[in-house]
Structure 1
């Protein structure tokens, strides 16, 4: 079975831990219907909800996002603590600028909701993590140990 989405990974881990939707929803403190929507690809969780689910399943958000799977399959290096801090610092700056900026973020002349801003930040985090992982595999020839 190929695990391609966040929902697939959550469902696989839930079954591996012998948990029902109700069990996991209680452990993660989210509704059963929302969890079902995530597992079936009808909804995407915010990073906060993804963290709650990851804790309840005793895993990491990186695995649920598919980052560790790619790293393990390709045998690439993982992000170190400095990389994690850099990403977190930049994301906090971006979120602050989006939420508290003088003009704010507008879409079709309307202010963007905090949930939409969080979705933007979540997407940026995923992109930043992927870019860092991809860039780590390119080591200049003078530093390679061939």
Structure 2
């Protein structure tokens, strides 16, 4: 599940405090938190970006999220994430929201390809590459099979 923001409201003396949900964290707060954890040295920069990507995909209800570690296999990126959206509209929406959340962390908008069609969108976040497919297109290309060695892919859902 995605992170949620809560607002605590105080009542007069003797009354209890109540918490009410005010919705998901904004893209700026979401990205700032993960950027701060990367600066603290908790994780490497690429791992912090990967965490942000996985949280964003989860918040936007992406399906069948698979993470593939590319370190030592490719100099292009450290991580590859593959997921599905139920429709072209959802695929496009997931990609746009992910790009918005990555922009403050990367200092620029990540490069995207395929948003106009919505069948397969590639988001290049530098250290991580994200492929967002419609299920039929994902099944046709079977991109995971090209990079997986059994234990390398870690399904997230």
* TM-score relative to the length of structure 2: 0.29
State the TM-score, normalizing by the size of structure 1.
Answer: 0.31
Structure number having the greater helix percentage: 1
